[in-house]
Amino acid sequence: MNSEQYRELTLIGAGLAGSLLAILLSQRGWKVTVYERRGDPRIKGYESGRSINLALAERGRHALRAAGVEDAVMAQAVMMRGRMIHGLDGSLQLQRYGRDDSEVIWSVHRADLNITLLRAAERAGATVHFHRRLHTVDFDAGYARLIDDRDDQPHDIRFRTLVGADGAGSALRAEMVRKADFDEYTEFLDHSYKELTIPPGPDGGFRIEPHALHIWPRGRYMCIALPNDERTFTVTLFLPNHGLPNHAAPGTDDPSFASVRSGAEVRALFARDFPDALPLIPDLEQDWEHHPPGLLGTLYLDRWHLDGRALLLGDAAHAMVPFHGQGMNCAFEDCVALAEAMDRHGVLEQAFAAFEAERKPNAAAIQAMALENYIEMRDRVDDPDFLLQRELERALQERHPQRFVPHYTMVTFMRIPYAVALERSEIQRQILVEATRGRRDLAGIDWPALARVVEERLPVLEEAR
């Protein structure tokens, strides 16, 4: 139990992480008040501004179980068994994420998930105020000013502790950085994205295989599609901001947001590079011209808390690119770790420091892995060397199930620290590259010698099933 006289906490942000944390802390007897700059997503006609689908994995499901909301969320989730690779020639190849249907990920719709968590937070006792944008904070006096952007009216509040779950553009982080030196740095990717939609088919069903994450890899750019419960797909096209020379077609550049501006230009791009996707997106030109491109970046901070007065978590502390599908899962894991740290420590400053010490190295690890996974998704999933390494990876997993645990399995189907997963993945990648160098298949592999390498370089992973 927390020994402080007042177990009160003010949360900034009622998105996914803020709502989940509100549930966990309210269940523990904390008086939680949440302020959200947007309107209530439960009000008909409200637009959240982002529809990109999210991949729910074991880390996120564990957090939902801890909050008692897993069943409600999973009722609207769509299972994805693996990556469905769309070749330029129209070929299809399913690359499974795991060994069977016990190792899958789930596509969830951001808005639906947010509404489910908000309702649960209020049932747990949290108070949520919408249309309250954080404007300024006086940390010493314990006062904050919030603005209602509908009428520019200020709303002043007193607080004991602020927790920022207000995303990559966190207003609380800006105030904390103004108060103390956090050495904030955002590294933007030289790529951006736009969202499109595949509607249901004429019969009301899915137009393409629903139980997969579809990828159209094209080297320095790609298109992906994730299924929705309402039988649509959220399509995301990732392009460079500026094109590089196309060596396959001298005198031309790869497509980019600098060269693909109009609806006609994006139709020509799809006709050339994503021909099987083109007939699936009837509103392609309209969506392209009306949806602004989204930025992709990685946020780095030296620290996440200001003694016991303020703390950041989720994207507000460690925003990452979306290519490992772990941003939400990592943020949910943050929420559980923070609640447990507050259970263990009687003083919030100690709890915040312990939380930061535990989570910061793991956030850095998944940020690095997310950046790396973009290259894999857009450029390597159809590469023969990569596919041979995947084949060997599966064979070594079968032979050494407690030592050679695939990278994706550690990150997605287990809850071992991200930093441990990164360290082991780097060792395993070296083993795979060395063992397959110069080979076209696995014939002639010296399995006993390879087993000795695995046993020498990879200790038993106790969590492996």
Closest-CA residue to 313 (of 267, 362, 265, 254): 362
Contacts of 319 by beta carbon, 8 Å cutoff, 6+ apart: 167, 168, 186, 297, 298, 299, 327
- Rounded distance between C-alpha atoms, residue 328 and residue 58, angstroms: 11
What sections of 274-416 are H helices per DSSP? 284-290, 315-318, 327-344, 348-375, 384-399, 407-408
- Name the helix (H) or strand (E) containing 58: helix 58-67
Distance CA(262)–CA(171), nearest Å, equals 34
The whole-number pLDDT of residue 259 equals: 92
Q: What would the pLDDT profile of 312-336 be if each residue is shown by its tens digit?
A: 999 999 999 998 989 999 999 999 9
pLDDT at 232: 93
Give the CB-side neighbour count of residue 158, counting CA atoms within 13 A.
Answer: 2
In angstroms, the first-to-last Cα distance of the chain is 34
Q: How many other CB atoms are there within 10 angstroms of residue 61's CB atom?
A: 19
| Pair 270, 277: CB distance under 8 Å | yes
What b-and-e string marks burial along 362-399, b requiring 16 or more CB atoms within 10 Å of the CB?
Answer: bbbbbbbbbbbbbebbbbebbeeebebbbebbeebbee
SS3 for 205? coil
Residue 240 identity (one-letter amino acid): P
Q: Which residues contact 430 (CB under 8 A, 6 or more apart)?
A: none
Structure tokens at 380: 């390597």
* pLDDT tens readout for residues 340-358: 999 999 899 999 999 999 9
Range with lowest mean pLDDT among 11-15, 50-54, 378-382: 378-382
Region 413-425: mean pLDDT is: 96
Contact 287, 223 (CB under 8 A): no
State residue 377's pLDDT score.
66
- Angle CA 199–295–426, to nearest 5: 95
Question: What is the assigned CATH class of domain 8-77+109-182+298-372?
Answer: alpha beta
- Give the C-alpha separation, 21 to 6, whole Å: 18
d(CA 341, CA 356): 10
Asked whether the beta carbons of 403 and 455 are under 8 A apart, the reply is yes
Cβ(172)–Cβ(34) below 8 Å: no
Please, are residues 260 and 269 in contact by the beta-carbon 8 Å criterion? yes
Q: CA torsion sign, 245 to 250 to 252 to 254?
A: negative
Name residues whose C-beta falls within 8 Å of residue 348's C-beta, 6 or more positions apart in sequence: 2, 4, 161, 308, 342
Averaged pLDDT, 272-295: 94
> Residue 463's pLDDT is what?
82
Place of tokens 């609380």: 172
What residues contact residue 440 under an 8 Å CB cut-off, 6+ apart? 384, 388
> Percentage of the chain with pLDDT > 90?
81
pLDDT band at 3 (very low <50, low <70, confident <90, very high): very low
Q: H or E element: which one contains 127?
A: strand 127-129
Q: How many helices (H) and strands (E) does the chain have?
A: 14, 19
- Parse the chain into domains and list their residue ranges: 8-77+109-182+298-372, 187-295, 382-457
> Helix, strand or coil for residue 310?
strand
Strand stretches in 36-88, DSSP E: 54-56, 78-80, 82-86
Encode pLDDT of 112-124 as tens digits: 999 999 999 999 9
DSSP per position, 375-388: HIIIIITT-HHHHH
Whole-number pLDDT of residue 4: 47
What is the chain's length?
A: 465
The per-residue pLDDT of the chain, averaged, comes to: 92
Q: What is the structure's pLDDT at 378? A: 63
pLDDT digits (tens, 9 = 90+) for 223-278: 999 999 889 999 999 999 997 766 555 556 789 999 999 999 999 999 999 999 99
pLDDT at 219: 85
Residue 145's identity, in one-letter code, is R
- Asked if residues 222 and 378 have their Cβ atoms less than 8 Å apart, the reply is yes
Q: Residue 227: in which H helix or E strand, if any? A: strand 222-227
Q: Edge-to-edge, what's the strand order for the sheet holding 105-108?
A: 54-56, 105-108, 78-80
For the segment 365-406, what is each residue's pLDDT rounded down to a tens digit?
Answer: 999 999 988 776 666 666 788 889 989 999 999 999 999 999
Residue pointed to by tokens 């995301």: 236
The 10s digit of each residue's pLDDT in 294-311 is: 999 999 999 999 999 999
Q: pLDDT tens digit string along 159-173?
A: 999 999 999 999 999
Distance CA 78, CA 225 (A): 13
Strand, coil or helix: 272: helix
Residue 146, Ramachandran bin (φ over 0: left; ψ between -120 and 50: alpha; else beta): beta
Q: Which pLDDT belongs to residue 374?
A: 79
Task: Give, as one character, the DSSP assignment of residue 302.
Answer: S
pLDDT tens digits for 130-189? 999 999 999 999 999 999 999 999 999 999 999 999 999 999 999 999 999 899 999 999
Beta bridge partners of 188: 297
